[in-house]
Structure 1
Amino acid sequence: MSDSNLLSSRDGNILTVTFNREDKLNAMTRSFLADLKAELEAVRHDDAISVVVLKATGKAFTTGYDLQGGDWVLSQNPAESGGRLDIARDREDIRELLEYWWTIWKFPKPIIAQVQGLCLSGGGELIAMCDLVVAADSARFGHPASRDLGIPPTVFLWPMLIGMRKTREFLYTARLFSATEAERLGLVNRVVTPDQLDGTVNELAQDVARTPTANLTLLKKATSCFYENMGLFASGEQAADLDAVFHQSESFVSFFATVAERGVEAALAERRQRFG
């Protein structure tokens, strides 16, 4: 595991995995995702662990996929190609990323996300795969990239979790929304003050962990089946294909052409001027 990405600790039958890229606002890279998967796989069949908690250092849970550096989540880095991607290869990459998220969805033990600060874009995909979410009242959620850079292949499960109209609002406007609104919509289980966050998550994890692990696995599978039978996996594949098409758009190409020429900060500054 890359030492800079994650920290992990055990307390009884609870595993806590802490995102440790504070200087990058815990943005997710390819190695970050690989390390997270390895942490989960290591306890998949470990009877001594019943519950996993995901939390983060610093002021952000995660701002999504890292736009800087060479550790790009997909095999083609648009910053290195001026935004031009081979669509067939991109489609395969996005479907591979989707399968990554489905692997976490299928993880047999409860995962609790402890969210502070920003939880954006790919971070929304991550918490969508979690069983329970507790957020600080300062947390903010959303997908700023929806206007011009792409569709998350899981669509954060928003269509199933919060319905069509709110999903479309958040995607069409790229509006960030508060933890309070996220709780009202059903994306978050509890909202507490930042100083209560650790204690609340620990109490919840301890409570869940009192249920026998084998029973938790059955309860999780029983609830997952409802979404899977409604077409969760097929819908994700279609969204992944649409994301590959989105990556051929002029807005996507233009953004990463600017990244290639003048860097990420310049590209983000241009986006702010255009979209606010």
Structure 2
Amino acid sequence: MTSQANLQTARKDKVFTVTFNREDKMNAMTASFLQDLKAALDSVRDDDTISVVVLKATGKAFTTGYDLDGSDWILSQNPIAQAGTLDLERDRQDIRALLEYWWTLWKFPKPIIAQVQGLCLSGGGELIAMCDLVVAADIAKFGHPAARDLGIPPTVFLWPMLIGMRKTRELLYTARLFSAREAEAMGLINRVVPLEELEATVDAMAADIAKTPVGNLAILKQATSNFYENMGLFASGAQAAELDAVFHQSESFVRFFTKVAEEGVQAALADRKARFG
């Protein structure tokens, strides 16, 4: 097993496991976190002894999305330092770069299984959207609370394709959290199991998939990806990235990060809760 501040990695038979290791931060994603995740995946990308990748996490959250404290900000402009006022063109470039990051995971040639044991919110939806399969504990929760005031994911989590237009709009317009059972019923995830069975279920699934020759898995993955790409996946992502940059110019975005700059994240979250519920 290898370990670092953001994550741990381990190999067993043909399965490579990446464990998010920011439990004290609810596994919130930072710039260095994403760099470490990409490096871990790159280390086995062309390794034919590895057939399947499993992503899992320590603690109560799979990930609560992008880290809001600003010390390792996900984009080049720190909205806390700038009280939420961002240069639009630079923000566009940053969001396009983030989108390209997610597409590298989409194009990763080996199946990726997300093992979701708890909260999976906002940017976490982007992460699981790039995974091939998602297995969740029955206590897991999903959603995009930031939809009301902070922005949209450039991938829009692939929700329009995965769960349809009407459910996507409902979940974005209300920003409500929803259960693993509801996520399974909508087709957002593959399977829900009791928390105590989650590890064994994912282990068995990964071992079963690993029986298929690694080259065949790459072909099967590309064959299914092609349908989404041919429907305009990449073009839609580029358009959403533009809309996200525009969203970041909104009064609600500036208000939130001004509050963070002046009084801290918890005060901003409390103000947000009072405003939106």
Q: Is 2:58 the counterpart of 1:57?
A: yes
Q: Quick check: 2:3–2:9 contact (8 Å CA) kept in 1? A: no
Q: Aligned partners of 2:156 and 2:117: how far apart in 1? A: 21
Q: Match for residue 25 of structure 2? A: 24
Q: Is 2:225 the counterpart of 1:215?
A: no
SS at match of 1:226: helix
Amino acid corresponding to residue 60 of structure 1 in structure 2: A
Q: Is 2:164 the counterpart of 1:147?
A: no
Q: CA deviation at 1:3?
A: 1.4
Q: CA deviation at 1:203?
A: 0.2
Give TM-score, length-normalised by structure 2: 0.99
Q: After superposition, what is the alpha-carbon deviation per residue over 1:108-162, rounded to whole angstroms, capped at 9, x for unaligned? A: 0000000011000000000000000000000000000000000100000000100
Amino acid corresponding to residue 158 of structure 2 in structure 1: L
Q: Aligned partners of 2:170 and 2:85: how far apart in 1? A: 29
Q: Quick check: 1:4–1:21 contact (8 Å CA) kept in 2? A: yes
Q: Match for residue 158 of structure 1? A: 159
SS at match of 1:134: strand
Q: After superposition, what is the alpha-carbon deviation per residue over 1:21-66, rounded to whole angstroms, capped at 9, x for unaligned? A: 0000000000000000000111010011000000000010000000
Q: Aligned partners of 1:154 and 1:104: how far apart in 2? A: 12
Amino acid corresponding to residue 28 of structure 2 in structure 1: A
Task: Report matched runs for 1:13-92 at 5 Å.
Answer: 13-92=14-93
Q: Aligned partners of 1:206 and 1:106: how far apart in 2? A: 22
Q: Aligned partners of 1:43 and 1:33: how far apart in 2? A: 16
Q: Quick check: 1:2–1:31 contact (8 Å CA) kept in 2? A: no
Q: 4+ runs of 1 displaced by more than 2 Å?
A: none
Give TM-score, length-normalised by structure 1: 0.99
Task: Report matched runs for 1:67-216 at 5 Å.
Answer: 67-216=68-217
Q: Aligned partners of 1:80 and 1:137: how far apart in 2? A: 39
SS at match of 1:180: helix
Q: After superposition, what is the alpha-carbon deviation per residue over 1:159-188, rounded to whole angstroms, capped at 9, x for unaligned? A: 010010000000000011000000001111
Q: Aligned partners of 2:188 and 2:126: how far apart in 1? A: 12
Q: Match for residue 274 of structure 1? A: 275
Q: CA deviation at 1:13?
A: 0.7
Amino acid corresponding to residue 141 of structure 1 in structure 2: F
Q: After superposition, what is the alpha-carbon deviation per residue over 1:220-267, rounded to whole angstroms, capped at 9, x for unaligned? A: 000000000000000000000000000000000010000000000000
Amino acid corresponding to residue 194 of structure 2 in structure 1: T
Amino acid corresponding to residue 252 of structure 2 in structure 1: S
SS at match of 2:100: helix
Unpaired runs of at least 5, structure 1: none
Q: Aligned partners of 1:92 and 1:129: how far apart in 2? A: 21
The percentage of aligned residue pairs carrying the same residue is 75
Amino acid corresponding to residue 55 of structure 1 in structure 2: K
Amino acid corresponding to residue 236 of structure 2 in structure 1: S
SS at match of 1:8: strand
Q: Match for residue 9 of structure 1? A: 10
Q: Match for residue 260 of structure 2? A: 259
